[in-house]
Structure 1
Amino acid sequence: MREYLLTLCITIAVTYLLTGPVRKFAIVAGAMTEIRARDVHREPTPRLGGIAMFAGLCAGLLVADNLDNLNPVFADSHEPRALLSGAAIIWIVGVLDDKFEIDALVKLGGQLIAAGVMVIQGLTILWLPVPGVGTVLLSSWQGNLLTVTIVLITVNAVNFVDGLDGLAAGMVCISAIPFFLYAYRIWYGYGLEAAAPASLFSAILIGMCLGFLPHNMPPARIFMGDSGSMLIGLVLAAGAISITGQVDPSALNLFAGSERDAVHETVPSYIPLVLPLTIIAVPAVDLVLAVVRRTWRGQSPFAADRGHLHHRLLQLGHSKSRAVLIMYFWCALISFGTLAYSVNSASMWIVLAVVALSGVGLVLLLLPRFRPRVPHWAESVVPPRYRRRRAALRRARAEAAAAREAAEAGRRPSAPTRTLNGATALRAGDDLEERRKAASSR
């Protein structure tokens, strides 16, 4: 665990320290996000935050390669090299898009190339654990096709959800934490070394996000851009592919004792199939809804709009910070709930806790429309929006003051004379001067 903590800290430090210089470089290079109709920020903000995140990825892999306990991951597997190759390709595509706004099909082509490079170097799905069936061995083309599909879905899901300050980095970080805990448990708890690359990838991913978040929290001083969102999406997909397709689920059954223990122990063998889906559950739902919505309107699935989940939260009345926190809550509930179920699937308390927290999440979603009656004595300890009596009193006083001003305005000179601005006064003075000149000439 100490090696992972060291790798995590180095990744955080490199990403955090380089984000400031990258921001200055983005301003000089003109890689600025202009204000568009679908955006929620109020001033142009520099992009290219993915440069610092890619540097953090490289630093994390370099440090891990020189640690005794993590070096076997590089010596016995080609997956770190495959990840770095695919990440470099998709990062370059993202940098070009942040600067020059390349076409969506060109970005899709870059994503396909990055996924293909990873597949060629061995980062692919070999088998799938199917509940009730067992381990299903995939053919070469099936595994490659499924790998490319997972990469495309994950990359675009993270890219789509990157619409509010700190949203994408925070959600990916929250999802990567339980993923790391699960992969670490599979490696050291069950002794399966095939889970080591996924543990390393998720630890580095957490460091990339944590190092960038201080610069990206509301109000953001820099955006990660496509160079960052597609990059962390690719790293997330690489970890999911590694632990899903490389770890043999049947090997977990060897550690079971009695028949009852065997039933309980086989549950984690199916979690690699479910946990990668829970990591991108919220972004994936947003992606599917966006594609359906745009296709229904006759638009391109890649056309931008203001119909994403975070936009809908803002339309409900949530502030940007509260919308981000609500998305964090749902992401944490899904991912950590799945992790807890994998540890003890026989506990009904876990299911009840998830259901109760889901109810809390629904209340949070409807909070702007929920205005309970607060007693007068409790109005001093609740937010202003719940102080109905005081708010009504203020409105009544404001209306009375407006009525008095309207009554006084009836006794004053006409409104145009009182509201004459500088430009109107200047034109009136010019007209008066012209009339004087005309009178003197006559």
Structure 2
Amino acid sequence: MTFLLITLAAAVITFVASRIVLRFALKHGIHPPVRERDVHSRPTPRLGGVAMCIGVLGAFGIAALVPEFAGIWAEPTRILTLLGGAVAICVIGVLDDLFDLDWMLKLGAQILVATGVALFGVQIVSLPIAGLTVPSSTMAISLTVLIIVLAMNAVNFIDGLDGLVAGTTIIGSTAFFGYIWMISQNFAQQNAYFSLASLITAVIVGVCLGFLPTNWHPARMFMGDGGALMLGLLTAASAIAVTGQIDLGTMGGRSQILPAFIPVLLPLAILLLPLTDFVLAVVRRVVNGNSPFAADRKHLHHRLLDMGHSHLGAVLIFYAWTTVVSVGCLLFLLWPWWIVLGIMLVGFLVCAMLTAAPVGRRVWRTFLRVMRERRAARGKMEPTRIDTRATTRADTLGDRR
């Protein structure tokens, strides 16, 4: 109930803030022109990140009043640094949406924010694989900065369709919260449930739920770079906060091989599609001699639209892939691996069929058209043969007479 309260608070605050920000943007004409790579046809405000940031700050402020979260606020520097980083990256994203900042400047600002979070907020200290520890603080900071920057850009890269980022983040973060909840049951302390990772994840889900009605197709407002970068930062921070902070030996019961990898696999599963799109985009642009951050219209969601999917259909396909991967990784903690693997294979097959459906429909229509043309051609030839036979028979009878 406590986490539901936090999620609900984040959703309500974000929803109300979204309405206020939307009215402000429309009143003052704060909406950039439609770009060539955009899939929408009318100018739409991109200040959703501002409303989402307000939701994050409001939810954390309410959490500070909840006694169960007192342990988290015992180290206020961590939370204040994380919130400061969220505000800073949101401001950078909004400025980029309004003034189209140089990509080097954006990347430098992202690294600076990630470094601050790594130094005073959350930091990888160990990996949940055989108790492997990070050998030095410099490596820990570098690895943390790399993960945060990668997550921010990955989420930002797929923010091209209405409701895409918000919906996939809700699905993946809900699965990750389920993972945190399950491993917390193995600890005797009551406050084990109320960790920084679980709080961040609950806030992320609430903020996305509150913003989704405004962002659903046809969207009245986009989250923009400000919202997407902030979600990437918070998602990475929640994964880093929980990774390496648990004792897998207490989980018992099953083989510890798969549970040991879940803290690594599940965050990757949540960001599987964004990371895939990010890697493909960087490779594609570098091979073509362009900047890795140069915008184009060849992202995964663009390709789905070009295949023939509708706007909503492409979004739902992303939802389906995210659900199969995220929930599949989570089920490894509950069921035998061979059952989960079978479920995931079936899920992958269904998702692949849905993804390729427009191509299949075109092939089927082409096949039917070819068959109709053949039947039509055959039908034109039949009367000619009949007339020829009739004429020949008539000639024969005439000769006999």
TM range (shorter): 0.7 to 0.9
Matched, 1:362 2:356: no
The yes-or-no answer on 1:278 pairing with 2:269 is: yes
Question: How far apart are the structure 1 equivalents of 2:96 and 2:28?
Answer: 13
Query: 2:21–2:47: 8 Å Cα contact kept in structure 1?
Result: yes
Match of 2:248 among 252, 265, 288: 252
Q: Does the 8 Å contact 1:125/1:147 carry over to 2?
A: yes
1:287 to 273, 278, 283: 278
Change (3 A) 1:321 1:26: same
Contact 2:171 2:322 in 1 (8 A): yes
Residues 297-346 of structure 1, C-alpha deviations (whole Å, 9 max, x = no match): 111111111110001101111011000000111011111110111333x2
* Residues 255 and 99 of structure 1: CA distance in aligned 2, closer, same or farther (over 3 Å): closer
Checking the alignment, whether the CA contact within 8 Å between 2:170 and 2:205 is kept in structure 1 is: yes
1:180 corresponds in structure 2 to 177
Alpha-carbon distance in structure 1 between the residues aligned to 2:362 and 2:158: 32
Is the contact between residue 294 and residue 301 of structure 1 (CA under 8 Å) also seen in structure 2? yes
Q: What pairs with 1:37-436 in structure 2 (closer than 5 Å)? A: 37-76=36-75, 78-130=77-129, 133-191=130-188, 193=192, 196-245=195-244, 247-248=245-246, 251-256=247-252, 261=253, 263-265=254-256, 267-344=258-335, 346-371=336-361
| Unpaired runs of at least 5, structure 1 | 375-384, 397-442
Structure scoring higher RCO (CA < 8 A, sep ≥ 6) equals: 2
**2:382 maps to which residue?**
none
Q: What secondary structure, in the 3-state scheme, does the structure 1 residue paired with 2:94 have?
A: helix
Q: Give yes or no for contact 1:3–1:70 (8 Å, CA) kept in 2.
A: no
CA contact (8 A) 2:183 2:251 kept: no
Q: In structure 2, what is the equivalent of residue 382 of structure 1?
A: none
Q: Is the 8 A contact 1:51 1:228 kept in 2?
A: yes
SS in 1 for 2:333: helix
Shift of 1:135: 2.4
Consecutive unaligned residues of structure 2, counting only runs of 5 or more, are 377-401
The answer as to 2:10 corresponding to 1:11 is yes
Q: CA RMSD in A?
A: 2.3
| SS across alignment from 2:74 | helix
- Residues 190, 255 of structure 1: 8 Å contact kept: no
Q: State the partner residue of 1:377.
A: none
Q: Displacement, 1:29?
A: 4.2
The letter for the 2-side match of 1:11 is: A
* Distance (whole Å) between structure 2 residues aligned to residue 66 and residue 110 of structure 1: 32
TM-score (norm: length of structure 1): 0.79
Answer with 81-90 or 159-168: which moved more: 81-90
Q: Distance in 2 between matches of 1:17 and 1:134?
A: 45
* Structure-2 separation of matches of 1:359 and 1:152: 32
Identity %: 40
Deviating more after overlay: 222-231 vs 70-79 = 70-79
Q: Deviations over 1:85-140 (max 9, x none)?
A: 2111111111222222221111112211211111221410001123xx54234310
CA distance in 2, matches of 1:335, 1:34: 36
**Residues 202 and 239 of structure 1 are in contact (CA less than 8 Å); yes or no, is this contact kept in structure 2?**
yes
Does the C-alpha gap of structure 1 residues 270 and 371 become closer, same or farther in structure 2, counting only changes over 3 Å?
closer
* CA deviations over 1:343-398 (Å, ceiling 9, x no partner): 33x24221111101111011101111223999xxxxxxxxxx99x79xx9xxx9xx
Query: Residues 31-42 of structure 1: matches in 2 within 5 Å?
Result: 31-42=30-41
Q: Give the letter for the 2:260 counterpart.
A: S
Q: Is the CA contact 1:194–1:243 (under 8 Å) kept in the aligned structure 2?
A: no
Tell me, yes or no, if the aligned pair for 2:157 and 2:278 is still in contact at 8 Å: yes
Q: Distance in 1 between matches of 2:134 and 2:107?
A: 29
Inter-CA distance 255–301: structure 2 relative to 1 (3 Å threshold): closer
User: 1:27 & 1:298 partners in 2: Cα distance?
Assistant: 38
- Normalized against structure 2, the TM-score is what? 0.87
Structure 2 CA distance for aligned equivalents of residues 141 and 373 of structure 1: 55
Corresponding pairs, count? 369
Contact kept in structure 2, 1:173 and 1:206, CA below 8 Å? yes
Taking the aligned partners of 1:220 and 1:254, their CA distance within structure 2 comes to 46
**1: distance between equivalents of 2:363 and 2:136?**
62
